[in-house]
Amino acid sequence: MARRLTEVVVAVATIVLFGVGHVPVRYSQAQPATRGVDSFDRIATVLQGPRCLNCHPRGDRPRQGDDRHIHLMNVQRGIENMGVPAMRCVTYHQSRNNDIAGIPGAPHWQLAPVSMAWEGLSKRELCRTLLDPSKNGGRSVADLVQHMTGDALVRWAWNPGHGRTLPSLSVDDFKAALDQWAAAGAPCPN
């Protein structure tokens, strides 16, 4: 208690003498967790964007476009997250974008499992869902980082084809944020 009071007095005296910009920075054991949460905030800006949310819907109807409208042609999730038998995702979505037809494409095009539905989740709920092996396909934090930076379907978000916005972070900045989050112990926001 006395140590904390001393720190407060020193901080106030420094502000009075030198101004707000000169408050000495103290590093504590909590800082890595703070950095990790800050990193997750950056990660969430990507995961809560249309490139990710369109394929992580709560129900059986995928979304499309930057405005996230219901997928045209009554597309449905299907039993294996790849469409119903008469309308399989890979029938239309090939292994690469078809900009002439306006159809996006990447290897193994499909919806995320229902357990990984992110629509409407807060950052905290999103983080906990990502870390829950019963919802994330049994992935460890290292596996999540690898999946979100190495999977061809996920990486499609940074090459979405004509007329689609890119995620809020570059792929390199996203990877850096994921690495920082993982190194800090993958903390979730409160």
Q: What is the pLDDT of residues 99-140, one digit of tens each?
A: 999 999 999 999 999 999 999 999 999 999 999 999 999 999
| C-alpha closest to that of 118 among 48, 34, 42, 22 | 48
- Report DSSP state, residue 87: E
Dihedral in degrees, nearest 10, Cα atoms 131, 136, 139, 144: -70
What are 64-100's pLDDT values in tens digits? 999 999 999 999 999 999 999 999 999 999 999 999 9
Number of residues assigned to the chain? 190
Beta strands in the chain (DSSP E): 63-64, 69-70, 83-84, 87-88
Could you state, in order of their start, the residue ranges of all structural domains in the chain? 32-183
Tokens for 117, please give them: 């539905």
pLDDT for the residue 13 = 39
